[in-house]
Structure 1
């Protein structure tokens, strides 16, 4: 059994130890020590990294009481070695983990939202709550968490039998009644109390701060992504740099960016509407030419196919009355944009037919879905490069 020095001294950065086993596995070496400062992955917390002598430790795991240090070099059994943590990694892990405890506590304390999932990786950290919280509520929980951090409250590690731990049940935001034997209890003074195997800084001030990044609905509750400590600082630096770059590009102050973007969007939409209007006018001018050259059925009905490149379903609705004003005409309008094909079938004045039949032909041709009434129907499909050819094929069938 390896002595877990990290359990009661999370600030211990190195130790001497004796190699008790070394096994090769898939090009790596699983090294066991008689004692270690390396925390093995568990309880939602990632493992420590560092070195044992000159061997790089990339991952640490625990199984059946054995702690395995995954190294890039073998170490001789029986030799005394020096195990040294990558302290930046350890500190980051501790900051994120204790931040999870405190943010979960705040959500539970303020809004009775329970943490039902905790996930940490090299880039992201988030918790799953069994209750959906609003933006305003999460901001209150964030502030509550940071106030506990700024008060630099002590974090205590204690051990007690499960029968004694039951007495703390009412004070804990979660209690696993299935746990038996000696339990490790992590408690923040006048705040969170829970069973936990992870490493935590001895004082909350070492977290620096907690910042909620985003949240979304998730399985009847919500998923909350957040960052703590150095990650919070890095996130703020990155977003500040982005904001400054955007402000410079728009020639405005950072605080004026939202209004400037709103104005830019409105201007672009107006320009787009102007371009569409001009395109529709061009296509209106071509309508007579399309009509004159349109094929005719045996019954003497024109089959007017109108390809509308760069348009969408809204433009079809605008253009449709002009096409259906033509007498004895079956109108097939297809609008194409890079992500979507929209189409409609309509009957012109004094024209017999059923657009429900026509829309089925268009659905089959484009692999889309649509429906409507006998005099007009519409549908849509994913974009395809050969949409004009498919429209021509429908016209051929109708001929």
Structure 2
């Protein structure tokens, strides 16, 4: 049996009856975290909400005022996951999220058209496809697609759209000889009922359960964004169809206007302007690094020239890196002096170096690491690593000063 959404893909609302409602769970990912929702699987007499299948995501919508969070197929039935229970035998009004549905129709029919013409023109077979949230991808059985082929394919698919080619749905029995003549990647094991064929007149006949436009003109336009290297000598062709092209153009124009404001140049000069900026940044980074190195030497010399210097030196700077700290440690005679250096935000993450006589460094290094909540290691009189928080830097400094005073009194 075909669902109402498959018999009439343009129907947005439908009245039907609840057949069953059973407790169920839905596993989903929210903001990168996996969650399990408790709810109910509702089976309806018929539905305008498409269950996931054929590479097409499921529909969203409402049963009455209850949101449908997921629709899956189970044999001849569609299961609607909802958070609130519905009464068996209850008559309900089902409404589809039309913006989401029509977007899926455009992308899916667009995929059929691109797949058919890529095969006709170049013999490139489609091995899989993905309807993504922002862009869709067709996996072609070829190691590469030439730029000229990509351009020719885009021109051809848009020519068919302008030609107002009809798209029809046929329902055939599984033993119908016509079934053997259509494209197919096989039927699911739990398939039930007639075979559904999507026929783009004169272009393609393909076995498919998804929702489609009734005429290629409803696709509006298709844009082939380019290709990426796929797996096992295959190529991923990236495309947009219909309203996604309009949204992409709007977003691109908004970005272009922002760049005009920031770069103070016209769109045609953006690449050149960014290239100049990158070269300027690299030069500034190189100059800054040279200055940091010179500063490190001066800091160490000032300490060594101080007649009041003791056997402990501590310094924190917001700017710097491991090289900056190691230059200071190398310039100071760490055989006699314990050196504690940090760079980074005062109460945030950063880097640290503890250098000095090998005995005290080996003894105090793990304690410093613990207080700074960091990771690191040491050998040959130097202990260094990353600190998750420099908020307790003062505590480390006091601990090291106390250690130095204790060591000095023992020597006396």
Q: Distance in 2 between matches of 1:346 and 1:96?
A: 62
Pairing partner for 1:196 from 208, 212, 216? 208
> In the TM superposition, what is the alpha-carbon distance from 1:357 to its structure 2 partner?
5.4
* Structure 2 match to 1:313: 322
Is the aligned partner of 1:7 residue 2:12? no
Equivalence for 2:375 = 368
Query: In 2, Cα distance between the equivalents of 1:133 and 1:139?
Result: 15
Q: Paired residue for 2:104, among 89, 93, 115?
A: 93
Tell me, in whole angstroms, the C-alpha distance in 1 between the residues paired with 2:376 and 2:215.
60
Q: How does 1:1-399 map to 2 (within 5 A)?
A: 4-12=3-11, 19=17, 21=19, 32-33=44-45, 36-48=47-59, 55-56=64-65, 58-59=67-68, 61=71, 62-63=73-74, 65-67=76-78, 87-102=98-113, 114-115=127-128, 118-120=130-132, 123-127=133-137, 129=139, 144=153, 147-152=156-161, 153-158=165-170, 159-161=172-174, 167-168=180-181, 172=184, 174-175=185-186, 182-188=194-200, 194-207=206-219, 208-212=221-225, 226-275=239-288, 277-278=290-291, 280-291=293-304, 292=306, 295-296=310-311, 304-316=313-325, 319=327, 323-324=330-331, 326=333, 328=335, 332=339, 334-337=341-344, 341-343=350-352, 361=366, 367-369=374-376, 374=380, 380-381=385-386, 383-386=388-391, 388-389=393-394, 392=397, 393=399
Tell me the number of residue pairs that the alignment of Structure 1 and Structure 2 aligns. 373
* Counterpart for residue 35 of structure 2: none
CA distance in 1, matches of 2:262, 2:176: 64
Segments of 5+ residues of structure 2 without an aligned counterpart are 24-37, 408-412
- Kept after mapping to 1: 8 A contact 2:126/2:138: no
8 Å contact kept, 1:365–1:394:
no
CA contact (8 A) 2:376 2:386 kept: yes
- Please report how far the alpha carbon of residue 251 of structure 1 lies from its aligned counterpart in structure 2 after TM superposition: 1.6
User: Does the Cα contact within 8 Å between 1:20 and 1:77 map onto a contact in 2?
Assistant: yes
CA distance in 1 between partners of 2:393 and 2:134 (Å): 45
**Alignment deviations for residues 159-186 of structure 1 (CA, whole Å, 9 cap, x no partner):** 35278588458x55x3458576743233
The 1-side partners of 2:392 and 2:178 are apart by: 69
Aligned CA distance change for structure 1 residues 280 and 290 (closer, same or farther; 3 Å) = same
Alignment partners' CA distance in 2, 1:305 and 1:190: 80
Cα deviation digits, residues 290-345 of structure 1 (max 9, x gap): 3446653xxxxxx655544311235446x35x833758556757452358644557
- Contact 2:13 2:95 survives alignment (8 Å): yes
Query: Alpha carbons of 1:316 and 1:257: their partners in 2 closer, same or farther (altered >3 Å)?
Result: farther
2:228, 2:396 → 1: CA distance? 44
Q: Deviations over 1:34-92 (max 9, x none)?
A: x554434444434446678xx4574373545445676999899687x886655444321
Shift of 1:209: 1.5
What is the rounded CA distance, in whole Å, between the counterparts of 2:200 and 2:53 in structure 1?
20
- The CA RMSD measured in Å over matched residues stands at 5.3
Normalising by structure 1, we get a TM-score of: 0.65
Contact 1:312 1:341 in 2 (8 A): no
Q: Is the 8 A contact 2:365 2:383 kept in 1?
A: no
1:234, distance to aligned residue in structure 2 (A): 1.0
* 1:200-233, Cα deviation, whole Å (9 max, x unpaired): 1133332222454896888998887654211221
The one-character-per-residue Cα deviations of 1:278-299 (angstroms, maximum 9, x if unpaired) are 5555554332343446653xxx
Query: Contact 1:215/1:222 (CA < 8 Å) preserved in 2?
Result: yes
How far off is 1:253 after superposition? 0.6
Shift of 1:143: 6.3
1:274 is displaced (CA, Å) by 4.6
Contact kept in structure 1, 2:350 and 2:390, CA below 8 Å: no
What is the CA-CA distance between 1:94 and the residue it aligns to? Answer: 0.3
